[in-house]
Amino acid sequence: MGINPSEHLFPDQAHEAPVQRPETILVVDDDDIVRRVVARGLLKYGYHVLEAEDGESALKISAENSRPIDILLTDVAMRGINGHQLAQLLFSSRPEMKILLMSGYPEYTFAPLPGPGVAFIEKTFTIEELNGKIRELLD
């Protein structure tokens, strides 16, 4: 009989199912590794996660998805449409959507964005810190 390392290293998490949350988060980052790690972490918190590799893909996903998108989590510095531009474009069709900008360059934090519900998180962050920022925006 084999040993499940997660049962021994993380006994409280081994059989713990994530709380299913009704919120949808669109994660946009042109760095595949960052996007996948963030998306995986958010899935563990029970969120419905959509992933886009750039601004153009995010616009397409938004247009094709009738479900509300509660938060746009986007990198600020991306090729093509940057995070600020993407937020402005999506906000025009989804004014109820919250915006969470992320960047490893805090000097690019905020450009004027329409409406309330805009926040920033500096890379690098833990999934727990990210979830805390998401809950601040949603609750």
Do residues 101 and 76 touch, judged by C-beta distance below 8 A? yes
Show Cβ contacts of residue 88 under 8 Å, excluding neighbours closer than 6 positions: 113, 114
As its CATH architecture, domain 19-138 has 3-Layer(aba) Sandwich (3.40)
**Residue-level pLDDT, tens digit, the chain, 139 residues:** 333 333 333 334 444 545 667 899 999 999 999 999 999 999 999 999 999 999 999 999 999 999 899 999 999 999 999 998 999 999 889 999 999 999 888 666 555 555 578 888 998 899 999 999 999 999 8
Q: What is the pTM of this model?
A: 0.82
Do residues 70 and 46 touch, judged by C-beta distance below 8 A? no
Give me the residue spans of the domains in the chain.
19-138
Strand partners, 100: 73, 119
